[in-house]
Structure formats: C-alpha cells, structure tokens
Amino acid sequence: MKTQYYTAVSLDGYIADPDHSLDWLHQFGGGDESSYPEFIREVGAIAMGSTTYEWVLEHHVYSDPEHPKAWPYEQPTWVFSSRTLPPVPGADIRFANGDVAPVHAEMRAAAAGKNIWIVGGGELAAQFHDRGLLDEIIVTIAPVILSGGAPLFTRRIATPPPRVVEVKPHSSGLTQMRLELPKVGEGGARAAAES
C-alpha cells in the first residue's frame, strides 16, 4: 500500500494555468500509452482539495447542468476544505478539515490494502508529505510552459532529493516520471509516522 500523488505538470512546474484550465494538457489527448487505467485499478481511496473538487464538479459532473454526469470515481473520496461544499448525490464523498494524519488512517482502512491517491492540489500533497505520509509522486510532464498557475508542490524537497524510479516517454510528447520520496532520518516526521 502506497500513498501516491499522481498528476500532470507543465515544464515549469504548474498543474493548472492561472485560470485553472487544463486545456494545455488536453491538447495531447488520452492516448493508448496512458498509465491511468492500470493506476486507478490499484487505488482504494482518494483525497483532493476543494479547488480540485470544484474543478471536477464544473468540468465533469455539471459540465452540462441539464444532464449531470455521475461522480467519476468508485472509490471513497475525502475532500479537504475549510468551506462547506455541495455533495454529489450517490457518491461516497467525505468532507474533512484540519490535520491530514487522522484522515489518512481512515483512508488506509477504507483502501483495504490498495493505494491512496492524492489527486491534488500541491498544497494538500505537501501536507501529506509534512506528516511523513506521501510515498511517491507520479508526474506526467507536458512540454509546455505556463509561466504561472497552481504549483505542483508547495514545499522544498532538495536534500536528500526524491529518487527517480522510472521515466517513460510517450509518443504524444508527454513523459511520465515516478519518484520515491526520501525517508526522513531518525526522529523525523516520516520515520515517526511509519513507526
């Protein structure tokens, strides 16, 4: 079981442009090379921040308000927000606020041995990292430069650096990279969380 931050990013490190648009990514298409189908099969629980949740509502569930679509995930989903947000009828969505560590324990139980996916954004993924709970970043890099927007991550991880486990170039022009996050030394947050 791993806690993974799986997302796409521009060359200059943004997961969405300043208007919260992903059109820069959609131009590459889904393609047969996408790792998403294999990835999502191994996911047992999902976490996302309020901005990501609202994006899914606007661009998927209610993209046509006259004909709403179903929530796109079968897995129980925790939405972290200090605001009151609307639920989606029939979806297993649980709203959370505050420290991610106790919620992560609930997610582990619900995932039943499968992985936990941190959908986004960068601040939420960083909070899981701060508590020693983030194992991997799986990032698909698009050859575009946005010059601003929502950052991939909001913390510095430099010494020791993440370990590159795998790099997969795709014919679409996208490149996927999987990185393992370093363990914090004795007494650090990561070591404490795993003991």
pLDDT range class, residue 34, cuts 50, 70, 90: confident
pLDDT tens for residues 109-149? Answer: 999 999 999 999 999 999 999 999 999 999 999 999 999 99
For the chain, give the number of residues.
195
What is the reported pLDDT for 188?
Answer: 43
pLDDT tens for residues 5-23? Answer: 999 999 999 999 999 999 9
Number of domains present in the structure of the chain: 1
Where residue 85 falls (left for φ over 0; alpha for ψ -120 to 50; beta otherwise) is: beta
pLDDT tens for residues 71-94? Answer: 999 999 999 999 999 999 999 999
* β-pairing verdict for 175-180 and 136-142: antiparallel
Q: What is the mean pLDDT of the chain?
A: 91
Q: Select, from the ranges 30-34, 40-44, 157-161, 168-172, the one with the highest average predicted confidence (pLDDT).
A: 40-44
Q: Could you tell me the residue range of the domain that residue 127 belongs to?
A: 3-194
Checking 50-53 for CB contacts under 8 A at 24+ apart, the result is 50/79, 50/80, 50/81, 50/82, 50/83, 50/85, 51/20, 51/120, 51/121, 51/150, 52/119, 52/120, 52/121, 52/124, 53/79, 53/81, 53/85
195 vs 2, higher pLDDT: 2
What is the reported pLDDT for 182?
Answer: 86
What is the reported pLDDT for 193?
Answer: 44
Contact 44/113 with Cβ under 8 angstroms? yes
Element holding 41 (H helix, E strand): helix 36-41
CATH of the domain at 74: 3.40.430.10
pLDDT tens for residues 141-184? Answer: 999 999 999 999 999 999 899 999 999 999 889 999 999 998 76
What is the reported pLDDT for 33?
Answer: 73
